[in-house]
Amino acid sequence: MSDSTTTTRLLPQRPLNRFSILDNEPVHVWAVAHSDRGQLSSQFHLTERVAEQVAALAEISAAPITALASLRELDSATRERVRRLALFGHDSRLVITDVEPVDGRIMSDKPFALRVHFASSPLHPPRLVSVRVEWVGEPFVVEWLVNPGDLTLRYVDVQFDERQTLPTGAATFRVSLWNKAGSEAKFRTTCAVLPSNPFALNLGPSGDFVTGTWSARGVRHGDAYDTGIAVTLSNGDGSPVGVHTQFVWKFWGSGVGSYIVEQGTGNFGGSITVPAHNTWGGWISFTRQTAAASTASTTARRI
């Protein structure tokens, strides 16, 4: 018999390569030349004369950012937009505009490459890119030199070899880019690593967790203990996969495999279809109406 009740709901899935709400979004930044006055005019809604002045400053001024303040026809809001979205000829700043897997996705236990898109001035091109990888194991760092061919393409591909493959699950990439002037650009993105086998089920906390072990933790609300579990189904195949909506759950006394304190069944209802090369997510909430309830580890399996 079970003393706990379960509640389920579906979780909206984020894009495969923007899997966290904390990830950066792609931006459009470009190095301005005198010939770009038409683009300046259309993007920032400038008159032709003002766009001509901005383009001239971008090309000849040693301090174009400061020189923008001399253009009285630029209001403060437009001036700030130009500063954020345009790089000038003498600009020492650089920007990472996007980071994405070269093949569109990362597959488990296989080498892959991350493409780092950037924008910089011709006088201060990027020289070194560093990627810190945060996954289920110890974080590690991969560094890569930017070569002249990368500068022409405006992106660099950072290679991860057989020693740096990743298991199924989420992996966060914190990318840093430097030039010789000491300027640094940063970008964060999280990718859902798809299973090469080609299907996987992952469980994790959906809310409170135990620090250090990332185990789901029951929290008391009034006279009940609530435990939230996130369920992620990952499909590494090129075709969609249907899955039964029923599941079996178990509370273990002192870790999975010790002794069962409580068990039961649940159902997500409707139907589950995991799209090709994508993920499906659900949420299970366990509520136990007892003052004697305690934190327990949880496991669920598909039936």
Q: What is the pLDDT of residues 34-60, one digit of tens each?
A: 778 888 888 899 988 888 888 887 776
Side-chain-side CA neighbours of 288 within 13 Å: the count stands at 23
Query: Do the two domains 4-14+197-302 and 94-193 of this chain adopt the same fold?
Result: yes
Question: What is the rounded distance in angstroms from the CA atom of residue 41 to the CA atom of residue 18?
Answer: 32
Residue 183: Cβ-neighbour burial (10 angstroms; 0-12, 13-18, 19+):
middle
- Digit-coded pLDDT (tens) for 68-115: 888 888 888 988 888 888 888 888 899 999 999 999 999 999 999 999
Give the pLDDT band of residue 159 (cuts 50, 70, 90): very high
Q: What is the pLDDT of residue 63?
A: 65
Query: Higher confidence at residue 251 or residue 167?
Result: 167
Question: What is the rounded distance in angstroms from the CA atom of residue 119 to the CA atom of residue 29?
Answer: 6
Number of neighbours of residue 68 by Cβ within 10 angstroms: 21
For the chain, the structural domain boundaries read 4-14+197-302, 33-87, 94-193
Span 27-38, average pLDDT: 84
Element (H, E) at 292: none
- Digit-coded pLDDT (tens) for 126-151: 999 999 999 999 999 999 999 999 99
**Helix axis angle, 48-60 relative to 37-44, nearest 10°?**
120
Q: Is the pLDDT of residue 199 over 70?
A: yes
Q: Is the pLDDT of residue 291 over 80?
A: no
User: Which homologous superfamily does the CATH classification assign to the domain defined by 94-193?
Assistant: SOR catalytic domain (2.60.40.730)
Contacts of 279 (CB under 8 A, 6+ apart): 13, 16, 192, 194, 232, 233, 234, 235
CB 235 within 8 A of CB 275: yes
Query: Higher confidence at residue 82 or residue 208?
Result: 82
What is the DSSP secondary structure assignment for residue 15, as one 8-state letter?
A: P
The CATH classification number of 4-14+197-302 equals: 2.60.40
